Structure 1
Protein backbone atom coordinates (compact mmCIF):
# COMPACT_ATOMS: atom_id res chain seq x y z
CA UNK A 1 0.00 0.00 0.00
CA UNK A 2 2.91 2.36 0.64
CA UNK A 3 3.85 2.82 -3.03
CA UNK A 4 0.19 3.31 -4.00
CA UNK A 5 -0.24 5.98 -1.34
CA UNK A 6 3.00 7.64 -2.50
CA UNK A 7 1.82 7.77 -6.12
CA UNK A 8 -1.54 9.29 -5.23
CA UNK A 9 -0.14 11.79 -2.71
CA UNK A 10 2.66 13.04 -4.94
CA UNK A 11 1.19 12.68 -8.43
CA UNK A 12 -2.57 12.77 -7.86
CA UNK A 13 -4.60 11.75 -10.89
CA UNK A 14 -1.44 11.19 -12.92
CA UNK A 15 -0.41 8.66 -10.26
CA UNK A 16 -3.55 6.63 -11.03
CA UNK A 17 -2.56 6.53 -14.71
CA UNK A 18 1.04 5.46 -13.93
CA UNK A 19 -0.05 2.72 -11.51
CA UNK A 20 -2.61 1.18 -13.87
CA UNK A 21 -0.25 1.36 -16.84
CA UNK A 22 2.27 -0.71 -14.90
CA UNK A 23 -0.24 -2.98 -13.21
CA UNK A 24 -1.99 -4.09 -16.38
CA UNK A 25 1.27 -4.72 -18.23
CA UNK A 26 2.21 -7.09 -15.42
CA UNK A 27 4.00 -5.21 -12.65
CA UNK A 28 3.10 -6.44 -9.12
CA UNK A 29 0.53 -3.72 -8.35
CA UNK A 30 -2.78 -4.75 -6.70
CA UNK A 31 -5.00 -3.00 -9.24
CA UNK A 32 -8.36 -3.63 -7.55
CA UNK A 33 -7.00 -2.42 -4.21
CA UNK A 34 -5.62 0.67 -5.96
CA UNK A 35 -8.98 1.46 -7.56
CA UNK A 36 -10.86 0.88 -4.30
CA UNK A 37 -8.39 3.16 -2.51
CA UNK A 38 -8.97 5.82 -5.17
CA UNK A 39 -12.68 5.51 -4.41
CA UNK A 40 -11.91 5.98 -0.72
CA UNK A 41 -9.99 9.16 -1.57
CA UNK A 42 -13.10 10.33 -3.43
CA UNK A 43 -15.15 9.55 -0.30
CA UNK A 44 -12.72 11.70 1.73
CA UNK A 45 -13.02 14.44 -0.91
CA UNK A 46 -9.27 14.36 -1.55
CA UNK A 47 -10.09 13.52 -5.16
CA UNK A 48 -13.06 14.19 -7.39
CA UNK A 49 -15.13 11.26 -8.70
CA UNK A 50 -15.24 11.99 -12.44
CA UNK A 51 -11.55 12.98 -12.84
CA UNK A 52 -10.62 9.83 -10.88
CA UNK A 53 -12.68 7.66 -13.21
CA UNK A 54 -11.27 9.41 -16.28
CA UNK A 55 -7.68 8.94 -15.05
CA UNK A 56 -8.34 5.26 -14.35
CA UNK A 57 -9.80 4.81 -17.84
CA UNK A 58 -6.69 6.38 -19.41
CA UNK A 59 -4.35 4.19 -17.35
CA UNK A 60 -6.30 1.01 -18.12
CA UNK A 61 -6.61 1.88 -21.83
CA UNK A 62 -2.89 2.62 -22.02
CA UNK A 63 -1.78 -0.54 -20.20
CA UNK A 64 -4.03 -2.89 -22.14
CA UNK A 65 -3.09 -1.24 -25.46
CA UNK A 66 0.65 -1.58 -24.78
CA UNK A 67 0.14 -5.27 -23.99
CA UNK A 68 -1.79 -5.69 -27.27
CA UNK A 69 0.95 -4.04 -29.35
CA UNK A 70 3.64 -6.07 -27.58
CA UNK A 71 1.68 -9.19 -28.56
CA UNK A 72 1.57 -8.08 -32.21
CA UNK A 73 5.24 -7.09 -32.43
CA UNK A 74 6.95 -9.62 -30.17
CA UNK A 75 4.69 -12.68 -30.17
CA UNK A 76 4.28 -15.59 -27.76
CA UNK A 77 8.01 -16.46 -27.36
CA UNK A 78 8.61 -13.00 -25.81
CA UNK A 79 5.74 -13.49 -23.36
CA UNK A 80 6.91 -16.98 -22.40
CA UNK A 81 10.52 -15.85 -21.94
CA UNK A 82 10.08 -12.54 -20.15
CA UNK A 83 6.57 -12.91 -18.67
CA UNK A 84 7.76 -14.73 -15.50
CA UNK A 85 9.90 -11.67 -14.63
CA UNK A 86 6.64 -9.71 -14.40
CA UNK A 87 4.78 -12.47 -12.51
CA UNK A 88 3.17 -13.70 -15.75
CA UNK A 89 4.05 -17.38 -15.38
CA UNK A 90 3.78 -20.05 -18.06
CA UNK A 91 1.01 -21.69 -16.03
CA UNK A 92 -0.96 -18.42 -16.15
CA UNK A 93 -0.25 -18.04 -19.88
CA UNK A 94 -1.49 -21.56 -20.65
CA UNK A 95 -4.58 -21.10 -18.45
CA UNK A 96 -5.46 -17.87 -20.24
CA UNK A 97 -4.82 -19.44 -23.66
CA UNK A 98 -7.36 -22.15 -22.81
CA UNK A 99 -9.90 -19.54 -21.68
CA UNK A 100 -9.18 -17.46 -24.77
CA UNK A 101 -9.84 -20.45 -27.02
CA UNK A 102 -13.16 -21.02 -25.26
CA UNK A 103 -14.47 -17.45 -24.88
CA UNK A 104 -12.62 -15.58 -27.63
CA UNK A 105 -12.76 -11.78 -27.54
CA UNK A 106 -15.32 -11.85 -24.70
CA UNK A 107 -12.38 -12.70 -22.42
CA UNK A 108 -10.96 -9.24 -23.15
CA UNK A 109 -14.06 -7.83 -21.44
CA UNK A 110 -14.48 -10.21 -18.51
CA UNK A 111 -10.76 -10.89 -18.04
CA UNK A 112 -10.34 -7.78 -15.88
CA UNK A 113 -12.42 -9.53 -13.20
CA UNK A 114 -10.47 -12.82 -13.30
CA UNK A 115 -7.29 -12.79 -11.15
CA UNK A 116 -4.14 -13.20 -13.23
CA UNK A 117 -5.96 -13.16 -16.57
CA UNK A 118 -6.25 -9.48 -17.57
CA UNK A 119 -2.43 -9.25 -17.76
CA UNK A 120 -2.35 -11.88 -20.53
CA UNK A 121 -5.52 -11.41 -22.62
CA UNK A 122 -4.30 -8.37 -24.55
CA UNK A 123 -0.99 -10.07 -25.40
CA UNK A 124 -2.97 -13.03 -26.77
CA UNK A 125 -5.27 -10.71 -28.77
CA UNK A 126 -2.17 -9.24 -30.42
CA UNK A 127 -0.57 -12.65 -30.95
CA UNK A 128 -3.83 -13.86 -32.57
CA UNK A 129 -3.81 -10.82 -34.91
CA UNK A 130 -7.09 -9.31 -33.70
CA UNK A 131 -7.86 -6.05 -35.47
CA UNK A 132 -7.42 -2.99 -33.27
CA UNK A 133 -11.11 -2.17 -33.66
CA UNK A 134 -12.17 -5.62 -32.42
CA UNK A 135 -9.66 -5.47 -29.58
CA UNK A 136 -10.70 -1.96 -28.53
CA UNK A 137 -14.44 -2.67 -28.44
CA UNK A 138 -14.06 -5.50 -25.94
CA UNK A 139 -10.97 -4.39 -24.00
CA UNK A 140 -11.92 -0.74 -23.52
CA UNK A 141 -15.53 -1.45 -22.56
CA UNK A 142 -14.28 -4.00 -20.02
CA UNK A 143 -11.83 -1.44 -18.63
CA UNK A 144 -14.62 1.11 -18.16
CA UNK A 145 -16.82 -1.35 -16.24
CA UNK A 146 -13.87 -2.59 -14.14
CA UNK A 147 -12.64 0.89 -13.16
CA UNK A 148 -16.16 2.14 -12.47
CA UNK A 149 -16.97 -0.90 -10.30
CA UNK A 150 -14.02 -0.68 -7.90
CA UNK A 151 -13.75 3.11 -7.65
CA UNK A 152 -17.47 3.30 -6.94
CA UNK A 153 -17.16 0.50 -4.36
CA UNK A 154 -14.41 2.41 -2.57
CA UNK A 155 -16.54 5.56 -2.59
CA UNK A 156 -19.59 3.73 -1.21
CA UNK A 157 -17.68 1.72 1.40
CA UNK A 158 -15.94 4.78 2.83
CA UNK A 159 -13.99 3.94 5.99
CA UNK A 160 -14.84 0.26 5.54
CA UNK A 161 -12.77 0.06 2.34
CA UNK A 162 -9.81 -1.34 4.35
CA UNK A 163 -11.80 -4.43 5.36
CA UNK A 164 -12.78 -4.98 1.74
CA UNK A 165 -9.17 -4.48 0.58
CA UNK A 166 -7.90 -6.97 3.21
CA UNK A 167 -10.33 -9.69 2.15
CA UNK A 168 -9.72 -8.84 -1.50
CA UNK A 169 -5.99 -9.48 -1.13
CA UNK A 170 -6.63 -12.75 0.73
CA UNK A 171 -9.52 -14.08 -1.36
CA UNK A 172 -9.25 -12.45 -4.80
CA UNK A 173 -10.14 -15.63 -6.64
CA UNK A 174 -13.57 -15.66 -4.93
CA UNK A 175 -14.35 -11.98 -4.31
CA UNK A 176 -13.66 -10.54 -7.77
CA UNK A 177 -15.92 -13.00 -9.65
CA UNK A 178 -18.56 -12.39 -6.94
CA UNK A 179 -18.36 -8.63 -7.53
CA UNK A 180 -18.70 -9.26 -11.25
CA UNK A 181 -21.79 -11.43 -10.73
CA UNK A 182 -23.37 -8.78 -8.50
CA UNK A 183 -22.71 -6.20 -11.19
CA UNK A 184 -24.31 -8.40 -13.86
CA UNK A 185 -27.37 -9.07 -11.68
CA UNK A 186 -27.63 -5.35 -10.95
CA UNK A 187 -27.56 -4.51 -14.67
CA UNK A 188 -30.14 -7.19 -15.47
CA UNK A 189 -32.42 -5.92 -12.67
CA UNK A 190 -32.02 -2.32 -13.87
CA UNK A 191 -32.86 -3.28 -17.46
CA UNK A 192 -35.93 -5.26 -16.37
CA UNK A 193 -37.09 -2.41 -14.16
CA UNK A 194 -36.58 0.09 -16.98
CA UNK A 195 -38.48 -2.15 -19.41
CA UNK A 196 -41.36 -2.49 -16.90
CA UNK A 197 -41.56 1.28 -16.43
CA UNK A 198 -41.52 1.85 -20.19
CA UNK A 199 -44.24 -0.77 -20.70
CA UNK A 200 -46.45 0.83 -18.04
CA UNK A 201 -45.89 4.23 -19.60
CA UNK A 202 -46.96 2.95 -23.00
CA UNK A 203 -50.33 1.81 -21.62
CA UNK A 204 -51.09 4.93 -19.58
Structure 2
Protein backbone atom coordinates (compact mmCIF):
# COMPACT_ATOMS: atom_id res chain seq x y z
CA UNK A 1 0.00 0.00 0.00
CA UNK A 2 2.80 2.43 0.95
CA UNK A 3 4.67 1.58 -2.25
CA UNK A 4 1.63 2.18 -4.46
CA UNK A 5 1.03 5.59 -2.87
CA UNK A 6 4.72 6.40 -3.29
CA UNK A 7 4.67 5.41 -6.98
CA UNK A 8 1.62 7.61 -7.56
CA UNK A 9 3.29 10.47 -5.68
CA UNK A 10 6.48 10.25 -7.78
CA UNK A 11 4.60 9.80 -11.08
CA UNK A 12 2.37 12.79 -10.23
CA UNK A 13 4.89 15.24 -8.73
CA UNK A 14 8.04 14.14 -10.55
CA UNK A 15 11.31 15.69 -9.34
CA UNK A 16 9.76 17.46 -6.36
CA UNK A 17 8.17 14.18 -5.29
CA UNK A 18 11.49 12.32 -5.53
CA UNK A 19 13.26 15.02 -3.51
CA UNK A 20 10.65 15.11 -0.75
CA UNK A 21 10.32 11.33 -0.47
CA UNK A 22 14.09 10.89 -0.18
CA UNK A 23 14.49 13.57 2.49
CA UNK A 24 11.74 11.98 4.61
CA UNK A 25 12.97 8.43 3.91
CA UNK A 26 16.56 9.16 4.95
CA UNK A 27 15.40 10.84 8.17
CA UNK A 28 13.60 7.63 9.07
CA UNK A 29 10.09 7.41 7.64
CA UNK A 30 9.21 4.04 6.03
CA UNK A 31 10.09 4.90 2.44
CA UNK A 32 11.65 2.07 0.34
CA UNK A 33 14.52 4.17 -1.01
CA UNK A 34 16.11 1.66 -3.42
CA UNK A 35 12.72 0.88 -4.93
CA UNK A 36 12.05 4.61 -5.24
CA UNK A 37 15.33 5.11 -7.11
CA UNK A 38 14.82 2.23 -9.54
CA UNK A 39 11.21 3.27 -10.14
CA UNK A 40 12.53 6.74 -11.03
CA UNK A 41 14.92 5.06 -13.46
CA UNK A 42 12.00 3.14 -14.95
CA UNK A 43 10.14 6.45 -15.49
CA UNK A 44 13.26 7.73 -17.27
CA UNK A 45 13.18 4.70 -19.57
CA UNK A 46 9.57 5.58 -20.44
CA UNK A 47 10.49 9.19 -21.17
CA UNK A 48 8.48 10.59 -18.25
CA UNK A 49 11.58 11.91 -16.44
CA UNK A 50 15.05 12.96 -17.60
CA UNK A 51 18.20 11.26 -16.35
CA UNK A 52 20.39 14.12 -15.09
CA UNK A 53 17.66 16.16 -13.33
CA UNK A 54 16.51 12.94 -11.62
CA UNK A 55 20.07 12.15 -10.53
CA UNK A 56 20.65 15.69 -9.22
CA UNK A 57 17.43 15.89 -7.15
CA UNK A 58 18.06 12.37 -5.82
CA UNK A 59 21.58 13.20 -4.66
CA UNK A 60 20.38 16.46 -3.11
CA UNK A 61 17.37 14.82 -1.45
CA UNK A 62 19.38 11.98 0.08
CA UNK A 63 22.23 14.27 1.21
CA UNK A 64 19.87 16.84 2.76
CA UNK A 65 18.02 14.02 4.54
CA UNK A 66 21.34 12.70 5.85
CA UNK A 67 22.36 16.21 6.93
CA UNK A 68 19.09 16.68 8.84
CA UNK A 69 19.68 13.37 10.63
CA UNK A 70 23.27 14.40 11.39
CA UNK A 71 22.19 17.73 12.94
CA UNK A 72 19.47 16.03 15.02
CA UNK A 73 22.04 13.56 16.36
CA UNK A 74 24.63 16.30 16.90
CA UNK A 75 22.23 18.63 18.72
CA UNK A 76 20.14 16.23 20.79
CA UNK A 77 22.12 12.95 20.89
CA UNK A 78 20.80 9.72 22.40
CA UNK A 79 18.21 11.23 24.82
CA UNK A 80 15.89 12.54 22.09
CA UNK A 81 16.23 9.41 19.94
CA UNK A 82 15.60 7.13 22.93
CA UNK A 83 12.44 9.08 23.75
CA UNK A 84 10.95 9.57 20.28
CA UNK A 85 12.99 7.35 17.95
CA UNK A 86 10.63 4.38 18.03
CA UNK A 87 8.00 6.46 16.26
CA UNK A 88 10.23 6.42 13.16
CA UNK A 89 11.61 2.91 13.79
CA UNK A 90 14.84 4.07 15.45
CA UNK A 91 15.80 2.26 18.65
CA UNK A 92 18.80 2.40 20.94
CA UNK A 93 19.62 -1.16 19.90
CA UNK A 94 19.78 -0.16 16.24
CA UNK A 95 21.96 2.84 17.06
CA UNK A 96 24.29 0.64 19.12
CA UNK A 97 24.59 -1.76 16.17
CA UNK A 98 25.45 1.18 13.94
CA UNK A 99 28.17 2.24 16.38
CA UNK A 100 29.68 -1.26 16.05
CA UNK A 101 29.51 -0.72 12.27
CA UNK A 102 31.51 2.49 12.66
CA UNK A 103 34.03 0.77 14.92
CA UNK A 104 34.58 -1.86 12.26
CA UNK A 105 34.74 0.25 9.09
CA UNK A 106 35.63 3.72 10.39
CA UNK A 107 34.32 6.80 8.62
CA UNK A 108 33.85 4.85 5.37
CA UNK A 109 30.90 3.19 7.12
CA UNK A 110 28.98 6.37 6.30
CA UNK A 111 29.64 5.91 2.57
CA UNK A 112 29.08 2.14 2.53
CA UNK A 113 25.99 2.45 4.72
CA UNK A 114 23.98 4.00 1.88
CA UNK A 115 23.74 0.55 0.33
CA UNK A 116 22.52 -1.20 3.50
CA UNK A 117 18.76 -0.99 4.19
CA UNK A 118 18.06 -0.04 7.80
CA UNK A 119 21.56 1.36 8.29
CA UNK A 120 21.59 4.24 5.80
CA UNK A 121 19.74 6.81 7.93
CA UNK A 122 21.22 5.56 11.22
CA UNK A 123 24.79 6.28 10.15
CA UNK A 124 24.03 10.01 9.94
CA UNK A 125 22.50 10.03 13.43
CA UNK A 126 25.54 8.17 14.77
CA UNK A 127 27.95 10.59 13.09
CA UNK A 128 26.12 13.49 14.74
CA UNK A 129 26.02 11.81 18.14
CA UNK A 130 29.77 11.14 17.81
CA UNK A 131 30.27 14.91 17.28
CA UNK A 132 31.94 14.68 13.89
CA UNK A 133 32.48 18.04 12.25
CA UNK A 134 30.01 18.71 9.44
CA UNK A 135 32.94 19.03 7.03
CA UNK A 136 34.13 15.48 7.80
CA UNK A 137 30.54 14.20 7.68
CA UNK A 138 30.02 15.78 4.25
CA UNK A 139 33.30 14.42 2.95
CA UNK A 140 32.08 10.84 3.47
CA UNK A 141 28.31 11.29 3.04
CA UNK A 142 28.28 13.20 -0.25
CA UNK A 143 30.16 10.55 -2.30
CA UNK A 144 27.88 7.88 -0.85
CA UNK A 145 24.80 9.83 -1.95
CA UNK A 146 26.20 10.23 -5.47
CA UNK A 147 27.24 6.59 -5.93
CA UNK A 148 24.03 5.22 -4.40
CA UNK A 149 21.69 7.40 -6.47
CA UNK A 150 23.67 6.79 -9.67
CA UNK A 151 23.65 3.00 -9.12
CA UNK A 152 19.93 2.52 -8.58
CA UNK A 153 18.67 5.15 -11.03
CA UNK A 154 20.90 3.73 -13.78
CA UNK A 155 19.78 0.20 -12.86
CA UNK A 156 16.12 1.18 -13.19
CA UNK A 157 16.78 2.94 -16.49
CA UNK A 158 18.35 -0.14 -18.07
CA UNK A 159 16.00 -2.70 -16.52
CA UNK A 160 12.87 -0.99 -17.84
CA UNK A 161 9.79 -3.14 -17.23
CA UNK A 162 11.82 -5.64 -15.15
CA UNK A 163 12.94 -3.02 -12.59
CA UNK A 164 10.74 -4.24 -9.73
CA UNK A 165 11.63 -7.93 -9.68
CA UNK A 166 15.38 -7.28 -9.82
CA UNK A 167 15.25 -4.51 -7.19
CA UNK A 168 13.32 -6.64 -4.71
CA UNK A 169 15.89 -9.42 -5.14
CA UNK A 170 18.76 -6.98 -4.56
CA UNK A 171 17.00 -5.54 -1.52
CA UNK A 172 16.51 -9.02 -0.06
CA UNK A 173 20.18 -9.94 -0.45
CA UNK A 174 21.30 -6.59 1.01
CA UNK A 175 19.21 -7.33 4.12
CA UNK A 176 20.72 -10.82 4.38
CA UNK A 177 24.19 -9.34 3.94
CA UNK A 178 23.52 -6.81 6.70
CA UNK A 179 22.37 -9.55 9.08
CA UNK A 180 25.52 -11.57 8.39
CA UNK A 181 27.71 -8.50 8.84
CA UNK A 182 26.13 -7.64 12.20
CA UNK A 183 26.45 -11.25 13.34
CA UNK A 184 30.14 -11.26 12.34
CA UNK A 185 30.77 -7.98 14.17
CA UNK A 186 29.11 -9.34 17.33
CA UNK A 187 31.15 -12.56 17.19
CA UNK A 188 34.39 -10.58 16.79
CA UNK A 189 33.39 -8.33 19.69
CA UNK A 190 32.64 -11.29 21.98
CA UNK A 191 35.91 -13.02 21.04
CA UNK A 192 37.94 -9.87 21.72
CA UNK A 193 36.15 -9.31 25.01
CA UNK A 194 36.78 -12.89 26.09
CA UNK A 195 40.48 -12.57 25.26
CA UNK A 196 40.71 -9.27 27.13
CA UNK A 197 39.09 -10.74 30.23
CA UNK A 198 41.39 -13.77 30.02
CA UNK A 199 44.47 -11.52 29.91
CA UNK A 200 43.23 -9.49 32.89
CA UNK A 201 42.62 -12.67 34.87
CA UNK A 202 46.28 -13.76 34.55
Bin the TM-score by the shorter chain: 0.7 to 0.9
Q: Equivalent residue for 1:52?
A: 54
Number of residues of Structure 1 aligned to a counterpart in Structure 2: 177
| In 1: Cα distance, 2:153 partner to 2:177 partner | 15
Matches within 5 A, 1:137-176: 137-174=139-176
Q: Equivalent residue for 1:115?
A: 117
Shift of 1:141: 0.7
- With over 3 angstroms needed to count, the CA separation of the structure-2 counterparts of 1:39 and 1:67, relative to structure 1, is same
| In 2: Cα distance, 1:171 partner to 1:88 partner | 22
- With over 3 angstroms needed to count, the CA separation of the structure-2 counterparts of 1:176 and 1:152, relative to structure 1, is farther
* Deviation by residue 1:61-115 (Cα, 9 ceiling, x = unmatched): 1100000100111111112222211112333211101111222211110001112
Q: CA RMSD in A?
A: 1.8
Contact 2:99 2:126 in 1 (8 A): yes
| In 2: Cα distance, 1:121 partner to 1:36 partner | 22
TM-score under structure 1 length normalisation: 0.81
| In 2: Cα distance, 1:176 partner to 1:55 partner | 27
Contact 2:25 2:31 in 1 (8 A): yes
Shift of 1:162: 1.9
Shift of 1:175: 7.5
Q: Unaligned regions of 5+ residues in structure 1, if any?
A: 178-204
| In 1: Cα distance, 2:65 partner to 2:97 partner | 21
Contact 1:168 1:175 in 2 (8 A): no
Q: Unaligned regions of 5+ residues in structure 2, if any?
A: 180-202
Moved more, 26-35 or 158-167: 158-167
